[in-house]
């Protein structure tokens, strides 16, 4: 082979090599530098797997603060000491695609031949944070994108576009129920500006154990699950409540206020509201007098099922969609346009005496009419 031929072949191989390297670099790392990232996403069923359906496309969680630390070489996460914070960013839409991709993050200009730690900042779980009420599920499976949090990632010598540092979260398997007993001064069944809560009132949580949709604290549903007392302006909360099961009315809940407590404070009547779905509509009276209690209608408190996310006073550590802070009770000292606390009492002696009075009255009216006709 002639020298000219050798030079030609060498140049050809070099050019091909450069082209291949260029293509690899272009596809591996668009900016010519190594990158590290992917998604923080809502794992609806908690299995850690990106299942088909709602966990693709629009399941990312925006607003999550993600931190990137440089490992000091011992592969032990030591934030703030041996491992220095290098970068931080917040998850959002991937601007590099035409589709909307929520929960995306991507750290650019990540040094090669180094180990990195990706951390989901603790502040994300604070009250009002994007991950409040969530728990990590990314280590519930063994796919390439699964792993512990924080996540160790090694970037090799070659340019790398690493897209497997995913973090999956699901809602905690608990709900909260609450939250207000108040003085409905104008008896309009709405908690208005200037009205105040009533402290010192006993509130009880029941399950509709027979599933008939009727609150019966003195009857079939007689075992209270939890009991608390209003404080801090008429506020009450039931925490760590087992969620209702979908389409199972025997797991639905209702709340009962002890009537004698509010009567001892001078409140003679329940607001004229009530009888509506208590998990929709905040600061509206849900109370119905029933025996020794004023009760709400039974409702399903499923995990992530609260649609009224505009309600106030959400319990700390619970996702807004699992915090049912809409079960409210108004009471008034004004009996006009209100329901007296004894008007719906259904115990047997009251009913018997009521029926006797009705019969006696009908007999009296009949005798009077007969006498008038014989005059």
pLDDT value for 50: 86
Half-sphere exposure of residue 80, counting CA atoms within 13 Å on the CB side?
1
Q: What is the pLDDT along the chain (375 residues), one digit of tens a residue?
A: 543 444 344 434 343 443 433 433 334 444 568 999 999 999 988 899 987 655 555 689 999 999 999 999 999 999 989 999 999 999 999 888 888 889 999 999 898 889 999 999 999 999 889 999 999 999 999 999 999 999 999 999 889 999 999 999 999 999 999 999 999 988 888 899 999 999 999 999 999 999 999 999 988 887 899 999 999 999 999 999 999 998 999 999 999 999 999 999 999 877 776 656 776 667 889 998 888 999 999 999 999 888 776 667 778 888 888 999 999 999 988 766 566 665 444 333 333 333 333 333 444 444 434 433 333
E-strand stretches of 63-174: 65-70, 84-90, 104-107, 114-120, 134-136, 151-155, 161-162, 167-171
pLDDT value for 274: 64
Which sign, positive or negative, has the C-alpha torsion 335, 341, 272, 192? positive
Instruction: Calculate the CA 74 to chain-centre distance.
Output: 39
**Which residues does 70 contact at the CB level (< 8 Å), separation at least 6?**
83, 84, 86, 111, 114, 115, 116, 117
User: Strand 323-332 relative to strand 175-183: parallel, antiparallel, unpaired?
Assistant: parallel
pLDDT value for 174: 93
Give me the count of residues in the chain: 375
> Helix count (H) and strand count (E) of the chain?
3, 19
pLDDT value for 10: 41
| Domains of the chain, each with CATH number or no CATH | 23-170 (2.60.40.10), 175-344 (2.60.40.10)
Instruction: Give dist(CA 226, CA 205) in Å, integer.
Output: 5
Tokens of 285: 């009276």
Closest CA to 134 of 84, 174, 193: 174
């Amino acid at each position: 082979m002639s020298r000219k031929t050798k030079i030609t072949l060498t140049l050809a191989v070099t050019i091909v090599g450069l082209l291949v390297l260029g293509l690899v670099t272009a596809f591996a790392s668009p900016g010519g530098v190594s990158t590290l990232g992917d998604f923080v996403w809502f794992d609806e069923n908690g299995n850690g797997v990106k299942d088909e359906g709602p966990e693709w496309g629009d399941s990312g969680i925006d607003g999550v603060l993600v931190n990137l630390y440089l490992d000091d070489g011992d592969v032990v996460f030591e934030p703030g000491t041996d491992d220095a914070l290098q970068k931080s960013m917040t998850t959002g839409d991937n601007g590099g695609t035409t589709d909307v991709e929520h929960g995306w993050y991507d750290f650019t200009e990540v040094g090669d031949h180094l180990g990195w730690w990706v951390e989901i900042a603790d502040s994300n779980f604070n009250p009002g944070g994007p991950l409040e009420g969530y728990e990590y599920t990314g280590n519930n499976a063994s796919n390439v994108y699964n792993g512990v949090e924080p996540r160790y990632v090694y970037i090799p010598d070659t340019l790398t576009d690493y897209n497997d540092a995913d973090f999956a979260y699901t809602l905690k398997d608990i709900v909260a129920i609450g939250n207000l007993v108040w003085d409905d001064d104008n008896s309009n069944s709405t908690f208005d500006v200037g009205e105040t809560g009533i402290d010192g009132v006993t509130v009880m949580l029941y399950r509709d154990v027979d599933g008939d949709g009727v609150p019966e604290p003195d009857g079939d549903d007689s075992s209270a699950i939890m009991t608390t007392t209003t404080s801090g302006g008429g506020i009450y909360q039931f925490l760590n409540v087992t969620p209702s099961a979908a389409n199972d009315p025997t797991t639905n809940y209702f709340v009962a206020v002890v009537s004698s407590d509010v009567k001892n404070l001078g409140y003679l009547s329940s607001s004229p509201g009530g009888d509506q779905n208590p998990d929709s509509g905040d600061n509206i009276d849900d109370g119905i007098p029933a025996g020794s209690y004023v009760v709400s209608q039974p409702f399903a408190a499923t995990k992530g099922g609260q649609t009224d996310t505009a309600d106030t006073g959400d319990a700390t550590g619970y996702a807004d969609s699992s915090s049912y802070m809409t079960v409210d009770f108004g009471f008034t000292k004004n009996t006009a346009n209100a329901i007296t606390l004894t008007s719906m009492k259904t115990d047997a002696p009251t009913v018997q005496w009521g029926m006797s009075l009705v019969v006696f009255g009908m007999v009296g009216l009949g005798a009077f009419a007969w006498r008038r006709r014989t005059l």
